Each structure stands twice: as C-alpha cells, then as structure tokens.
Chains A and B, each alone.
Chain A
Amino acid sequence: MFRPFEWQDLLPLLEGAWLTLQLCGVSGILGVIFGLILGIARTSPSRIARWISTIYISCVRGIPILVIIFFVFFGIPLLFPGLEPDKFSSAVIALTCFAAAYVAEIVRGSIEAVAKGQSEAADALGLDYWRKLRYVILPQAVKIMVPPGIGFLIGLVKDSSLVTVTGLLELTHAGNVVTNLTGDPIKTFLIVAAMYFVICYGISWLGRLYEKRTGIHVDPLKVPEPAGL
C-alpha cells in the first residue's frame, strides 16, 4: 500500500518549509516588537512595569514551548467562547508569546551592556528617560542585540517544528504526511532535517556576516542562552 519515495514527494515538503518560514517570519517580527516593549519595561524605572515584565518573562521561560502551544491551541477557544483562531493564527500567537519573553531577555541584556557612563552622561545633559532611551541607549543596544537575536531566530525556527501537534502543515508535519504516504521515514525525515539545516545555517551565516561587517562580537557565555533546542 506504500509507494516508493519519489521526487514529487519533495513538493509537500517544500510547501511545509515555506509555511515554516512564514510562521517564523510573522511570529519573529511580532516577538521582536513585544519583546522590545517587555525588555524596556524590564529595565524601566517604574517598579510596576518591572514587576509585570519580570513575572511574564520568568513564567514563559520556565514553561516548555510545547505546553504554551497546547495552552493557546486548546485554551483560547475555551477561555473566550466564540473565538476560534485557525491553526496558523494560534501557532503565531503561541510562538509570539514565547518569542517575546526570550527577545525581552536579550533586550535587557543589551541595554545593560551599554556602558554605564553613557546613561550617566545622558542624565548629566538633562535628557528625560524617554529621550535618553531613544537617542543614547537604544541605538547602541540594538547593535548588541543582533548576534543573540540571530541565535534566537534559529531557535524559533527549530521550535516552530512543535506546532506540528496542532496539525498545522509546516515542515515537520509535512514530513509526517509524506511518511504516511511513502512508508519511508528515513529518507523523508533526513530531507526534512536537511531543509531545516539549510534554513538555520542560512540565518547563522547572515549573523556571521553581520559580526564581520560591524566587528561586534558578543561573548556567547555572557549572553542569556536563549531559544529552544
């Protein structure tokens, strides 16, 4: 009942890879936006903002992404009756919630890595908090954020494989479907792995290019080791 693995089986895998890229693109961008807000709140002078962001970040970082995916996928329709996001939206929501917390830690680390004298100089110049952030701290912090951010993006691509449990046809689930058709898990999942490798290695290559261009290199042990396995 199985048919051999043929070239046409590459097509669903490529479509899955494209969906994985879209998924990570959308949730990566949303994650960076929310992560910036959270990270700034985490270092802000307001105690309430610091508390809320700290609680959110530590909760998300202490719970497996898989549990977050289940929570969003099953929880949202139960908690908000009538609201039933499709598979892609709930995957985006789950990955964004997850990404925001990790990006926030990177943002915090980068803000703290900006030399202290810079902040003091801005204070001495009489800049208020928001101007100090906008013109002094963030422009320098953003450059430091990029290398760990790239590392996190790779983690996001790998973790996006877990939304396979919701039945969304991304790359890993496409691998499952093709395996069921061909009965050839070895070939299928080696190809799936190779596709992930190309995506992730491509992203890390961009990161190395950035490090070479800017000369910014971040000690990998000092960065909050982000992202999943």
Chain B
Amino acid sequence: MALYFGDLLPYSSLLLEGLWTGLYITLVAMLAGSALGVLVYLGKVGPGKPLSVLCTFYIEAIRNTPLLVQLYLIYFALPALGVNLEPVWAAVIGLTLNNAAYTAEIYRAGFESVPRGLREAGKALGMKPAQIVRYIILLPATRNVFPALTNQLILLFLASSIGSIISLPELTNAIMSVSNTTYRTIEVLAVGGLLYLAVSALMSLISKRAETTIFRWAVGTHV
C-alpha cells in the first residue's frame, strides 16, 4: 500500500486541538493531583491512625488498579448514583485522583531519602525549627523528588490518551476519528504518535534544563 499524508492536511487543526485538550487536562490534573498528593502524604505519615490507614488504602487502591477502570467507575458508575459528568470532568477527576496517589508515594520516597542525621546537624548548628524544615528538609527533598515529579508529568500526559476511551476529545480520540473518516489509519497514527513523542521529548528536555538551573548548587549529588 502507498502511504499518503495529504489527506490528513484538512484535519491538522483537529489533531492539534486534540493535543491541546490532552495537554490542558494533563496540566490541570498535575497541579491538582500533586497538591492533593501532599495532603494524602501528610495524612499517611501524620499522627491520626484512622486517617493514616485511610490514606494508605487510597494509595494502594489507586496504584494497584488500572486507570481505565478508575475512569470507568467515574464515568459509568457515578451516573448510576445520579452524578452525571462530562467526559472532560470525568477525565480531570480521574487523572487527578490517580496522580495524587502516585505523587504521595513520590513525596514519601523524597522525604525518607533525607537522612535523619542532617536534621540533627541542623539542630546542633542552632537553627530554628522553621529553618530546619525549610533548608534541611524541604530543599533537599524537593531536589530529590523533582526528577520523579517531572517523570510523572510525562507519564500523566501519555496516560491522558486513555481519556479517549471515555470519549474525551483529546489527541488519541482525534486520531481515531480522522482514521475513521479518511481511512488513512497508518498515516494518522504515525503523525499522532510523532506529536506525542515530540511533546514528551520537549517536556523531558525542559525538565532536565530546569533541574540543572533550579538545583544548580548540587547537581548530581545525592544527600
């Protein structure tokens, strides 16, 4: 068969719109999810026993089930309880709840990687508790979690494609509808795949750059 990309030209704006929707939802879910993740993490390590059990259960339940099933529960099961959601809202809520569990685990790993001796050293130097939290816990922990968080952003962007199954009009959805109208399946999948690849490569490039500029003072060293 001969490949012909010309048929796709009229649909390029549809594809780009899809890409934009996917990016937009990813960013919203990343911001909301990593904020919610902080709460989940604090709930897990906090003193309240029932809350801690609940947060642990939440993290494990999300991390051990597929995102698609979580989206199905939100999109198909909630209407049975009388809550009807647009695909966009279902996707945003699903990705946010999903992301919160993963970021909570990232925070845990990041904070656990700051050795206890460092905190004691801060105390010995006569630092105030607020200073210890800021300079000795938050800064090294942020640096430790930053690469994992940007990685999570890329994974989340790729996962936003799953929204197409609940008819969210993002890139994969656009790819399939263009494929259905033009029958240029290979071509549109190749173009769509390259769009995904370009954006995720760009995200990874920017985050590597950001890593070296923000944490210039200790690149490549682990506390």
Instruction: Mark out the residues of chain A between 157 and 214 whose CB falls within 8 Å of any chain B CB in the assembled complex.
Output: 157-159, 161-162, 164-165, 172, 175, 179, 184-186, 189-190, 192-193, 196-197, 200-201, 204
- A78 in the interface, Cβ–Cβ < 8 Å? yes
B110 within 8 A of partner (CB): yes
With a cutoff of 8 Å between Cβ atoms, the chain A residues found around residue B72 in the complex are 172, 175, 185, 189
Q: Once bound together, how far apart are the Cα atoms of A67 and B159, in whole Å?
A: 11
Q: B69 touching A189 by the CB < 8 A rule? A: yes
> Is B11 engaged at the interface, CB distance under 8 Å to the other chain?
no
List the A side residues contacting B19 at CB < 8 Å: none
Report the bound CA distance from A189 to B76 in whole Å: 9
Q: Are A158 and B67 in contact (CB under 8 A)?
A: yes
Contacts of A74 in B (CB 8 A): 179, 185-186, 189
Q: In this complex, what residue of B is CB-closest to A58?
A: B201
Interface residue A21 (Cβ < 8 Å from any Cβ of B): no
Q: Could you say which of A26-34, A35-43, A219-227 contacts chain B?
A: A219-227
Interfacial residues of chain B within 151-172, with CB under 8 A of chain A in the complex? 151-152, 154-156, 158-159, 161-162, 164-165, 172
Report the minimal beta-carbon distance from A188 to chain B, rounded to whole angstroms: 8
- In the bound assembly, the distance between CA atoms of A164 and B76 in angstroms comes to 16
Point out the residue from A67, A190, A224, A225 that lies within 8 Å of B175, measured CB to CB. A67
Question: Are B175 and A158 in contact, CB atoms less than 8 angstroms apart?
Answer: no
Q: Taking CB as reference atom, which chain B residue is nearest A225?
A: B151
B172 contacts A62, CB within 8 Å? no
- B68 at interface, CB cutoff 8 A: yes
Q: Does B122 contact A (CB under 8 A)?
A: no
Q: A186 CA to B186 CA in the complex, in Å?
A: 37
Which of A136-172 touch B at CB < 8 Å? Answer: 154, 157-159, 161-162, 164-165, 172
Question: Which A residues form the contact surface with B (CB < 8 A)?
Answer: 58-59, 61-67, 70-71, 74-75, 78-79, 81, 154, 157-159, 161-162, 164-165, 172, 175, 179, 184-186, 189-190, 192-193, 196-197, 200-201, 204, 219-222, 224-225, 228-229
